[in-house]
Amino acid sequence: MLVHQSTTAAGPSRVVVLGADGFLASELRRTLDGARQVHRAIGSREVDLIEASSVERLAGIVQPDDAVVITSALTPDKGRDPATLLKNLRMGENLAALLNRVQCAHVVYISSDGVYDSRLSLVSEDSPCETGDLYAIAHLVREKMLLQACQRAGIPLAILRPCAIYGAGDTHNSYGPNRFIRTALKDGKIVLFGGGEERRDHIHVRDVAGLTLLCLLHRSAGVVNAVTGRAWSFREVAGKVIAALGQPVAIQELPRSGPVTHRHYDIAALIRAFPGFAPMSLDDGLAETGGAMRAKANSV
Amino acid sequence: MTEASTIGFAGLSHLGTIYSMAAAARSFTVLAFDERRELTKELGMRQFPIVEPGLEETAREHGGRIRYTSEAQELAGCGLVFITLDVATNESNTSDLAPLEALIEKVSASIRSDALLAIMSQVPPGFCRSLSARLPAGLQLFHQVETLIFGNAMERAIHPERLIVGCADPAGELPERYRRYLDAFDCPVLPMRYESAELCKAAINCFLVSSVTTSNTLAEICERIGADWSEIVPALRLDKRIGPHAYLSPGLGIAGGNLERDLVTVQRLAAENGCDARVVTAWQEKSRHDRDWVLRVLFGAGALARSGSVSLAVWGLAYKAGTHSTRNSPSLALLDALPAYSFRAYDPVAKIDREFPAVRQCGSALEAAEGAAALIVMTPWNEFSGISAGEVKARMSGVHIVDPYRVLDGRAFRESGFEYHCRGA
């Protein structure tokens, strides 16, 4: 659960966003702009967290009053292999070294819901973290590294564990809303595994950015899942995508490779932390994403 | 009746107040002891610090047989003395046995050397065996298991289903003095060894928790698939393997402290002895999930979207109807969870016993509903069921009714334009 260090919402003097070129960080920067929150975005081209020299470079940038948001990670589309795992862990090592070296006011780490046991159909922040996926393992270990460093330095650490994030600008193309929109627009079809029975929670990128901002404003510490609390089957998502696009789209079913599993969230901890948080409905989110992706496709 | 036939009760919390009155109702002469002089004075004037249906009526009819005292030495006149101090639990639902130990020490030093001592307090397995080795020689120790239900305690104490008696050796005859007392209750008497009796209470509570948890699990599924748990319950009650009195009403998890305590005890015993009690952990987790049902419903209904400008009405603070106790109450948990919201709360007997700056306790249910964006029935008090949708509609500003226990007439509220949410459908 999250505990707010600041009961009245007041932003830090500056937010340093690491991983600034990524899908979520781009949205977060827009959200920070909208909230008139001063921020400094740092992408891997400026500071490559995999390199040990990143510690020195960031130490010259991060100030004691700064809040640091860590979105940096090599996502599964870059590889789920041991080499990618080690690169992700090296980033964690360097970030922990940074926090051992410089003081800052707050750290927000964007992790993943992949850290939870994939066999669990109902997950809360108290659910056991047990994963065989190397990307999720990287997040889990990095959480521990950062927690240790932050505890040692007395810095509040908020860990957000988002479920599948969708929205215009997502380049990951993983199975779900974005891929469905993309293939519907490009090929006029959506491919489902089996009947698309698996239920998942899908959160719009703007909601994750909004939750990150709320954590920053309240200087929150602890763990919270960044989710909507509603799970939809992939078939339902496909139906909503078709409705949002308003054009004929064929649904193609391919044999599934594994058993049907579902993932729902008990969002009581999220409600406790931010009771006024109102996630975008999937219909609205898909309509917006579909519209943006169609506009982009038409402009190319 | 001789002095030695007077039954002594030591420790006048809920347990001692009720059982001493039940003994009087069964025509025994009773001496009820508690160190708290003010308390014994109030009890002597029939002023009870607890709320239990039937207690005042029983006191009017039979209270003349009870004398209250704050002097332990007076227990020397009793041949049978019950230790009846409720054992308090902490935040982790573990027992604090120190006050009980102190009371036993004081009482055992005051009573006759041939007296019978019966512990009714909630003690963990192993307690009585260990205690019996420390008691003065000659004192015989028993453990009479209490199975009271808050809100129905007086009735159950006078008319128990059975009496469970823990003994050093269950093969032996119960002493005549104790037997006479037990027989007065006209129900089966089940002697067993100390350890069995101590675990028996936990066993009963584990079965209750399992019923409650199973009901809540299935009720939640009903809510999602268009089934109605209330339609299923009669079929279960008519099944002899489940029975007419099974705990089948869905609710907001386990509360009150006693059930939670016994689960913790079973977990500890299992851990110490290498047994698999993961089901108990699952019950606890499920209970936490059920406690937050209202929170999720309010959130899902959009009733929490504006914190500062709306007030929420809460009917019921006690952890269940018929009691003043708010121990582990889902209602207080809800108030805790939403500190940024202003609440108007009403309970017929329970009071908020700690600081909730944004909660105003009202004098009536309808007063609490005044201007509320949502009305949440957190304790199923009977008096709420008589309140009509029209009366509520005339006072509320919003349309959300959250009634987990189905106290209200859901159909009437829906027909009046409310968004009505209940458990199990």
**Which residue segment(s) compose the domain that A220 sits in?**
2-165+202-226
Q: Report CB contact under 8 Å: B304, A124.
A: no
Same domain, A285 and A144: no
CA B202 to CA B122: how far, in whole Å?
10
Q: Is the pLDDT of residue B386 over 70?
A: yes
The pLDDT of residue B1: 44
CATH superfamily of B293-421: NAD(P)-binding Rossmann-like Domain (3.40.50.720)
Q: What's residue B205's pLDDT?
A: 96
pLDDT at A211: 98
Kindly list the domain boundaries of chain B, sorted by start residue: 3-194, 202-290, 293-421
Cross-chain residue pair A266–B337, CB shorter than 8 Å: no
Q: Please report whether residue A123 resides in a domain.
A: yes
Per the structure, the count of domains in chain A is 2
Mean pLDDT check: name the lowest of A295-299, B130-134, B290-294, B370-374: A295-299
Contact residues of A toward B, CB < 8 A? 122, 124, 126, 229, 266-268, 271-272, 275-276, 278
- The answer to whether residues A23 and A159 belong to one domain is yes
**Is A270 among the domain residues?**
no
The beta-carbon neighbor of A276 closest among B289, B300, B305 is B305
- Segment B317-352, tens digit of pLDDT: 999 999 999 999 999 999 999 998 999 999 999 998
Question: Which CATH superfamily, name and number, covers B3-194?
Answer: NAD(P)-binding Rossmann-like Domain (3.40.50.720)
* Residues A276, B295: C-beta atoms closer than 8 Å: no
Residues A173, A159 share a domain:
no
Provide the pLDDT for residue B355. 82
Q: What is the pLDDT of chain B when averaged over all its residues?
A: 95
The answer to whether residues A176 and A220 belong to one domain is: no
Q: Could you tell me if residue A273 is inside a domain?
A: no
Do A275 and B296 lie within an 8 Å CB cutoff?
no
Residue B56 reports pLDDT greater than 70? yes
Residue B180 has pLDDT above 90, yes or no: yes
Going by C-alpha positions, the residue among B424, B392, B397 that lies closest to residue B408 is: B392
The pLDDT > 70 percentage for chain B reads 99
Cβ B259 vs Cβ B208: under 8 Å: yes
Distance between CA A59 and CA A102 in Å, rounded?
6
Q: B296: distance to nearest CA of chain A, Å?
A: 6
Whether residue A54 sits in one domain with residue A10: yes
Are A88 and A111 members of one domain?
yes
Give the residue-averaged pLDDT of B388-409: 97
Residue A275: inside a domain: no
Contact A275 B289 (CB under 8 A): no
Regarding the domain delimited by B202-290, which CATH topology (the fold level of the hierarchy) does it fall under? N-(1-d-carboxylethyl)-l-norvaline Dehydrogenase; domain 2 (1.10.1040)
- Residues A85, A221, single domain; the answer is yes
pLDDT of residue A300: 66
Q: Are residues A139 and A101 in the same domain?
A: yes
Confidence category of residue B4, pLDDT binned at 50, 70, 90: low
Residues A69 and A132 in one domain: yes
Residues A236 and A222 in one domain: no
Residue A10 confidence (pLDDT)? 85
Establish whether domains B3-194 and B293-421 are of one fold. yes
In this prediction, residues B352-362 reach a mean pLDDT of 87
Tokens of A151: 């505890």
The CATH number linked to A245 is 3.90.25.10
Residue stretches of chain A with pLDDT short of 70: 300
Answer yes or no: is pLDDT of B3 > 60.
no
Together in a domain, A193 and A136: no
The verdict on A157 and A239 lying in the same domain is no
Query: Which among A266, A267, A276 has CB closest to B306?
Result: A276
